[in-house]
Each structure stands twice: as C-alpha cells, then as structure tokens.
C-alpha cells in the first residue's frame, strides 16, 4: 500500500529544494523538451517509483515517466530503470528530488532483502523499528515492505511497547503491564522488553501479549522459546546484523527487529542521464 503521506512528503521535498524557484533551470529556453533515463550503477532492489513519478508530475503534467522495471525488482549495474520525457526546465528541477527518493528507498529495500534472504527456511520474520529519518518514516517502512520485511509500530500511537525506561518509571514489569492493560484501547497489542529469563517469567505471569528479548544470548533465546512454547510471539532485538541473524532465527523466535535497516542507510547508486 502506498503511504498516505506521499503527496505531502513530495511537496515538502520540492519546497525544500526549489524555494522561490530554480535559478539554474531558468537558463534553459522555455518550451525546450528533454529526454532522460535513470540507470542503476550497482545491483539492488528498486523502490520509490511512486515518489519519483509524483515528483515529476508535481512540476509538469507534460512530464511522462515510463518505468522499464517493476517496483521491487532486482536490477543489475547499468540497467535502465525508466525513461522520462517532457519540458526541460521541469525535468531538470525535479531530477535531484526524484533521485533522492529512489536512491534512499532502494537502499533500504536492498538492505532488507539481504536480511530476508538469510531467514529463508525459518519461521522468523524481519521487523523494522522507529529508527527512521525524520519525515520519511512511512516512506522507509514502505521500502521495508517492498524488500520483503514487515513493519513493527508505525509510531507511538498504534501499539504499546514497554521498554526499560518505562519499566523503571512504573516500578516493575508487573506494574507497567497492569497499567498498560488498564489504559490500552481495545485490541491494542501490549509488548514488553525483558533482559533476562527471570524478567521473562514475570512478563508471562503478568499477561504480556508479546515479549521483546533484548540482547539475549543464543542459549537464552532457545530457553525462552522453549519456555513460552508458542503461547505468545517472541521478538529478538539488540545488536542484530547480517553476521548473526541466521543463528538467532534458528533459535525459533517469531520476529527479529533490526534498527539498522532504516538507520544506517546506504543509498543505492543511481544516475540520471540525458539523451
């Protein structure tokens, strides 16, 4: 599903870049037409086509984008992604914003697929976090889905996740869970973070809907999975990376959350060339 805030995000990006007008594009004669293509400079997963298309459309109804690959496709170096044709001024003014969206979201989707590939053959699903670029949360979470991952909470409003500081402020795991159960809207999932097997037992006794196992060893993850025995979902988190995600999944946890998917961003290298 395309994020509902896409039009606002695109408008803000263009407002930020264009300001009172593109001084350099004004050098081009009005009415001149251009044709360009976007090329991948390295292998990856293409993501962000709706954002790029909306960027060009916002600048001119005469700008037409023809995508040569589907959203979510794997591409190789030097592969043509799309052809853009229309007024030169509008094309030049939208080039950077469109590429920024494509490069950022493609980078996220590519990283996600690298993780998802390591989970093949297991029951574990990959989750994102709220560690996102301000203003691009829905866009990045969209890219996670395109890459094959799953979204955790969108924000603080659509789920309860009780973490270490909440527990400290409430006094205990039991107190925090009971407060959440009393205040939570109907059907709201209540998840709580635990740091050891003793806290796991307390969370289970207090009626958590889901438990986050923070920085557990592989041995303790296996013990937690055996103890819970499928009664509620278990999420593993903390220092997760490509180096250890397969071993963590092998313990039998339901979810693994990885903050670096949207935080440690490496954009996919793309180029726009005129012809």
The percent helix, strand, coil of the chain (3-state, each to 5) is 40, 20, 40
Residues marked active site are found at: 96, 131, 163, 193, 214
Residue 252 carries which DSSP code? T
- Torsion sign over Cα 246, 252, 255, 256: negative
> Is-contact 25 92, C-beta < 8 A?
yes
CA nearest to 146, candidates 175, 105, 118? 105
CA gap 14, 195 in Å, rounded: 44
Distances (CA, A) of 208 to 143, 198, 240, 252, 262: 30, 14, 23, 19, 27
Residue matched to tokens 């990006």: 13
Q: Which helix (H) or strand (E) holds 261?
A: helix 260-263
* 260 φ, ψ (degrees, to nearest 5): -70, -15
Neighbours of 57 (CB within 10 A): 17
Phi and psi based region of residue 16 (left: phi greater than 0; alpha: psi -120 to 50; beta: remaining): alpha
> Is-contact 180 210, C-beta < 8 A?
no
Residue matched to tokens 């170096």: 77
């Amino acid at each position: 599903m395309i994020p509902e805030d896409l039009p606002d995000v695109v408008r803000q990006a263009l407002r930020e870049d264009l300001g009172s007008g593109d001084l350099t594009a004004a050098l081009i004669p009005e009415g001149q037409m251009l044709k360009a293509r976007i090329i991948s400079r390295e292998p990856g997963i293409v993501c962000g086509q709706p954002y790029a298309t909306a960027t060009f459309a916002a600048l001119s109804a005469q700008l037409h984008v023809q995508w040569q690959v589907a959203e979510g496709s794997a591409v190789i170096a030097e592969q043509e992604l799309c052809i853009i044709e229309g007024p030169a001024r509008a094309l030049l003014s939208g080039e950077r914003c469109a590429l920024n969206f494509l490069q950022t979201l493609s980078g996220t989707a590519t990283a996600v697929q690298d993780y998802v590939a390591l989970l093949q053959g297991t029951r574990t699903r990959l989750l994102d976090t709220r560690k996102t670029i301000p203003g691009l949360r829905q866009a990045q979470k969209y890219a996670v889905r395109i890459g094959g991952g799953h979204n955790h909470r969108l924000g603080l409003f659509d789920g309860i996740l009780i973490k270490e500081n909440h527990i400290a402020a409430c006094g205990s795991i039991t107190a925090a869970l009971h407060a959440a159960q009393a205040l939570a809207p109907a059907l709201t999932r209540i998840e709580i973070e635990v740091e050891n097997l003793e806290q796991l037992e307390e969370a289970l006794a207090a009626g958590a809907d889901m438990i986050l196992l923070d920085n557990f060893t592989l041995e303790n993850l296996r013990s937690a999975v055996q103890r819970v025995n499928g009664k509620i979902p278990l999420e593993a988190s903390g220092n997760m990376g490509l180096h250890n995600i397969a071993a963590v999944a092998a313990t039998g946890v339901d979810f693994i959350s990885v903050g670096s998917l949207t935080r440690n961003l490496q954009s996919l290298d793309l180029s726009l060339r005129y012809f």
